[in-house]
Structure 1
Amino acid sequence: MSPAAPLPCDYNAILTTRTFPFLVWDGVGIPTPPGLIGMVAVPHTVTGSPFGTNFVRVERLSGPGGSPVATIANSARFLVAGKLIDFTPPTAAITAPVAGDVLGSVTVNATGADEPKGSGLASLKIMLDDVTTLASGATSPASAAWDTTTVPNGPHTLKAIATDVAGNVGTSAVVTVNVNNPVLVTVPNVVGQLQAAAAAAITAAHLVPAINTANDAVVPAGVVISQAPAGGASAVTGSTVTLLISLGPAVAPVGPSAVFITTDSATQGTWQGVYGADGYSLANGPASLPAYAAVTLSGQAPFTWVAATADVRALQRPGLTDRFAATWFSVTTFNIDVNLTDGLTHQVATYGLDWDSTRRAQRIDVLDATSGALLDTRTLTAFNAGKYLVWNLRGHVTLRVTRTAGDTSAISGLFFGAAGAVPPPPVAATAAFVRIDTATQGTWKG
């Protein structure tokens, strides 16, 4: 006998396994047959096409979990309007962070999705090291704030796990991150230690020493006066500990000085081998200054009495035997600024010459060029035969030459250093006419 005509029915089945049971009765307008179909404990089998005309057959099994051995009953045929069979796992992915170093609070993001005609996403979890669940929910995306300070520094894994309604599980690719949180260490106390030992102790604690210095009237030079951060404090590895190292007691700054040595009226113009071993500057003549000295004149005018003479009062030309008589002069006052830049004391001499009279008199004041303080003062009179005034000078000074009698003040030369070989004068540019040539014309080659 043929089965009865199909009855209208909306029959949804979710197939998660190929073993019994896997059907759920969901008849629309048709009550569930009592005692058989729809009972959870009764296995069911669909025979026929998943879509279209179907019927349900109830079978007797050989035992729990066994094989069918007999058909107990068949249902009438019915139309299956929708039947969902899902064996495909959903996809999952960690979208943040990417592999690499992380520290502090890190936002971990994940996504999950089932196939378009699948059973749908049921859950999405974010797992840390396959042990700790950072986030769990039924929707995508998922996000978690991960406090990386709760785990040891080093590599850790992040993974997303998605499960669909059918129970299929999808797992993301593993993202490996390296937790690299700062490590706190105790700062060693190095106050009172020598600089080298203190720096070594700071370095051994995985910290970086930075050195500042200061004068201290009590703490010996080279010893740590203080440190920041202080000993016993906590600091992040690789951070800086600043050490203040003593320079010892402060030394008063050395200013300019002038100590008068002598007046020399015997040498006259024969200065080579007696003065100027380091350098010289001659009025209206050559100059060869030492590297440690800078000389600037102001308020003076140059004048040459005699360009060449054998008079021993006249100064020798450097490296030569001939002499000349010249001067820097002023009817009032002029200055010779002498800056000795190496911080050392040097012998400096002036040569005064009253060449054309016996009336001149002048005062030479040695001043601190910065403050104007008077360091020494000398009076020069009766210098028609020529006189040297010799000092030991240090620093930046001004020699102020003031006329006190006669027509003008007069200084003929300035000399650095004592006895010794005199530096040669700088080579001057020269020009010497040779001849006029009217024969070669344009044939110049050769």
Structure 2
Amino acid sequence: MEILEIVKKNKKEMLEDMQGLLRIDSTLVETDDPEAPFGRGIRESLDYVLALGEKMGFRVKNVNNVAGHVEYGNGEEIIGILCHVDVVPAQGNWKYPPFSGTISEGRIYSRGASDDKGPTIAALYALKALKDLGFEPQKRVRLIIGTDEESHWRGIKTYFQECEMPDFGFSPDADFPVIYGEKGIMSIDVTGPASELFFHAGDRYNVVPDEARAKPAKDLKAEFLAYLEEAGLKGECGEEMIIYGKAAHAMEPENGVNALVKMCEFLNRHLEDSFVAFVAECLTDSRFRKIKLDFSDPEMKDLTVNVAFLEIKDGKGRLGLNLRYPINWDKESFFKEFGAISEKYGLETNVVQNQPPHYVDKNDLLVKTLHRAYVHYTGDEKTPLLTIGGGTYARALKKGVAFGPTFPGREEVAHQVDEYIEIEDIVLATAIMARAVRELAR
């Protein structure tokens, strides 16, 4: 029996197990509990995947309740398949409850369906398909499960402090055919004095904020309602002014509608505040073109910025920015100029996190093997290999790439309201991963 036939035979069971994982709210909750340091939901999700792996007859390991692996095969070399079970907050108005795992019209709707719980279960069932076929890997294949990918990567860092680094591997947390390069990721805080305005929008560096709330000292109700109509935006005006935008992954801010930026554009017409002015006058486009600090690389494309969150309260403010930068970007020159601009507004910039770009040669055997598996099932030899602005666990490996599960031409739904995955796609992606692992593990 062929791999795809086995995957289709296991389809019903795979979807049920996928729904079970998706029904757990695994948003990060910081705790002092060593049994669940990132919250009960994340711990439950980790246990869920490990229990499934053990039930399938694989070896499993829990690493300090923040990571783990499911292991298949024997040998000196290790192939890593890196996934994560934490999710970003499920904000906004959803078509179905965000932790329901609802199946409708050939899709599974849920936070984490595409990023990255759905692919985690698919990767596990890829290993099961090979086991069902009687394949015996000559290398150890480890499905490595992280729990803090959307925030600080503490889970995967802890894992590699205790467990061996794979020789090579992939992360099914992005797109097909193969992603061989990922931009650098930098988070910046801008701080300083503010007016007496109350302002709140966003809470994660890696999500375009879809809601912004403000409470100015003066009555701007008429002006605000006129602005909403002028800009074609949805919002409310009661005790607070609220603008609704559209969430998106920070790797491409243009896929969303940034409610924070829209609110600042409105407020800057009617009041004085250093943060509001800085955003409205300098950060309304995602490429820094407005302040002439844009940059692009032929291979990794544009430098981008997500205006991620802004909190103004009690005369102080904190603005969070998330940059995705290509190779060959001159950071020193950028910060010299960007810092000078922010100083004009009385604000100070500080880099809080930086991950350099990640790159594997397109001609590497790993890339070629994965690409062959993709072409085998799709016949698609035309779609080029990719570089992206997203940051996956592939960069945690000494040699790793991102590989699926989203197919060319499909809508990007990670971090968005009504996140989903096409059932037909995840079945095919499972077969592609299984074939790739079989070729890599011979």
Q: TM-score, normalised by structure 2?
A: 0.20
Bigger RCO of structures 1 and 2 (CA < 8 A, at least 6 apart): 2
Q: TM-score, normalised by structure 1?
A: 0.20
Bigger fraction of residues in helix: 2
Bigger fraction of residues in strand: 1
Larger of the two Rg values belongs to structure: 1
